[in-house]
Amino acid sequence: MTKYNFFAGPAILPKQVMAKAAESVIEMGDMGLSILEISHRSKEVVEIMENAVSLTKELLGIGDDFEVLFLSGGASSQFYMSAMNMLGENETAGYVDTGAWSTKAIKEANAFGNVQVLSSSSDKNFSYIPKGYDIPSDLKYLHVTSNNTIFGTQFQDFPDSQVPLICDASSDIFSRPLDMSKFGILYAGAQKNLGPAGVTLAIVNKEFLKKQARETPTMLDYNTHVKKASAFNTPPVFPIYVSMLTLEWIKANGGLSGMAQRNAEKAKILYDEIDRNSMFKGTAAAEDRSLMNVCFLPVNEDHTAAFIEKCAEAGCVGVKGHRSVGGFRASIYNAMPKEGVETLVEVMKSFESAHA
């Protein structure tokens, strides 16, 4: 039986990417060596890293005004690293609080400077994206979380801000085209749309980086990694390699517009069924619904376990919701085929027939 992986992250990757990755674990090209055992200074790995950078730039449509870094430590490390680098003791940054990950970013930034939470959707369990708040023009930056994996909300448009955005795009990077001119730093843990866990993408605007706020340990200074093309220390070679393969797959499948179109189509199929089906209800405000993480509840709470069981029987795994929201969450990242969503919708329909 085909398994459809709806886990929120680490998450589904394209089958072709995994097949190629497995081959290279046995032998990288015709080197006679595995990708797991070759030097990060070898020409093969240097090419992989250069290719990953240039694909990132090509897909996002950015030029030499940005540096593309492949770091480690996850978005959780970018929460403090971005503030440590960019927020001076007497400077103020704005944060929009859209849930768990934003809240953590705010906590870490507080150690470095003044943090102003411009708006929060905590009043309604983060079920919407705040709008209509003022963005002071003297902020050092404005921090946003583009997609909220736990709560199933997503910025459809980014705030109209005079100050650069720092954006945690961990769960929707490469899912749609972005106007990169808005961003000072865009960072993302790989383990949703980009690759396996273990590498973190940071795209840094060079002009913005000139406004660095303090000295840091060598490894925590973005400039260290800029100067050494992400190889100041031994980078996480295999996670970067799989990310490169995924970027090639994205390019071959219509780039970010292609991804956006398919993602919109898949999300519509699922949200339409949630709205139609008498057994389920969505949790996020309709206009802020995430195209990546679709959160929904059973109308009858007693049905939770039974529905998850029916999903599993049909090969749909990972649909249990996060404890902060409950119910169900179907993560339908780039690599989720339309058939996966259709299979889930069939289960929803059968569930309604059986219980309504």
Active-site amino acid positions: 101, 168, 192
Q: How many residues bind its own copies (CB under 8 A)?
A: 65
Q: Residue 258 — φ and ψ, nearest 5°?
A: -60, -45
In the bound state with its own copies, the residue whose beta carbon lies nearer, of 248 and 352, is: 248
Site for its own copies in 84-113 (CB under 8 A): 84, 104, 107-108, 111
In the bound state with its own copies, the residue whose beta carbon lies nearer, of 130 and 196, is: 196
- E strand or H helix at 338, and its extent? helix 338-355
Contact 343, 314 (CB under 8 A): yes
Least separation in angstroms between CB 233 and its own copies: 4
- Contact region for its own copies (CB under 8 A) — 79-87, 258-266, 274-282, 347-355? 79-87
Question: According to CB under 8 A, which one of 234, 300, 324, 350 is a site residue for its own copies?
Answer: 234
Angle between helices 237-252 and 255-276 (to 10 degrees): 80
Least separation in angstroms between CB 125 and its own copies: 21
Locate tokens 């029916």: which residue? 310
Question: According to CB under 8 A, which one of 94, 113, 236, 298 is a site residue for its own copies?
Answer: 236
Does position 332 bind its own copies by CB under 8 A?
no
Phi-psi region of 179 (alpha: psi -120 to 50; beta: other; left: phi over 0): beta
Q: Residue 166 — φ and ψ, nearest 5°?
A: -105, 125
Does position 343 bind its own copies by CB under 8 A?
no
Please give the C-alpha separations between residue 355 and each of 148, 270, 345, 348, in angstroms, as whole numbers: 31, 19, 15, 11
Please give the C-alpha separations between residue 131 and each of 128, 140, 153, 295, 297, in angstroms, as whole numbers: 9, 20, 13, 21, 25
Contact 159, 165 (CB under 8 A): yes
Least separation in angstroms between CB 182 and its own copies: 26
Does position 26 bind its own copies by CB under 8 A?
yes
Question: According to CB under 8 A, which one of 125, 156, 233, 257 is a site residue for its own copies?
Answer: 233
Site for its own copies in 190-209 (CB under 8 A): 191, 195-199
Least separation in angstroms between CB 134 and its own copies: 29
Strands 92-97, 142-145: pairing is: parallel
- Contact region for its own copies (CB under 8 A) — 23-31, 54-62, 268-276, 289-297? 23-31
- Contact region for its own copies (CB under 8 A) — 32-40, 48-56, 90-98, 255-263? 32-40
Q: Residue 281 — φ and ψ, nearest 5°?
A: -145, 145
Does position 340 bind its own copies by CB under 8 A?
no
180: exposed, middle or buried (Cβ count in 10 Å: 0-12, 13-18, 19+): middle
Question: According to CB under 8 A, which one of 66, 80, 141, 187 is a site residue for its own copies?
Answer: 80
- E strand or H helix at 80, and its extent? helix 74-86
Can you give the binding site for its own copies, defined by CB under 8 A? 1-3, 5, 7-13, 18-19, 21-23, 25-26, 31-34, 36-40, 42, 72-77, 79-80, 84, 104, 107-108, 111, 189, 191, 195-199, 215, 217-220, 232-239, 242, 315, 317-318
